Amino acid sequence: MSFNYGREEKKWRLWKEAEEKQLRSLGVSEDTIEQLHTHDWAVFNSDRRYYRRLQDAGTYLEEFAEETAPPEMKTVEDFLDSIENQQLYIA
């Protein structure tokens, strides 16, 4: 999952312009519209930070999983070579 800031900001601005146009047609004051705009912009930025951190955490977890993945074993010898416990190996 990737968060494209430019694309999401464009979608937000189009949505906000349509909402503000509708609010003006309903007679809502410009002060109230500006307050809503400021609040919604703060929410948008909060979401952006959340999704960016979520993406960073996902990338970290993917890298960690790759580092800790057991090697692929194709033969019995590969399997026996991967056993680190001597008693288990002897058994």
Q: What does the chain come to in residues?
A: 91
Quick one: pLDDT at residue 24? 95
Domain count, the chain: 1
Residue 12 belongs to domain spanning: 5-90
Q: Measured at the alpha carbon of residue 56, what is the angle toward residues 51 and 58, in degrees to the nearest 5?
A: 90
Say if pTM beats, i.e. exceeds, 0.85.
Answer: no
Quick one: pLDDT at residue 27? 95
Instruction: Render pLDDT for 26-64 as a digit per residue (tens, 0 to 9).
Output: 999 999 999 999 999 999 988 888 887 777 666 666 666
Strands (DSSP E) contained in the chain are none
The Cα–Cα gap between 74 and 42 comes to 54
The Cα–Cα gap between 68 and 25 comes to 59
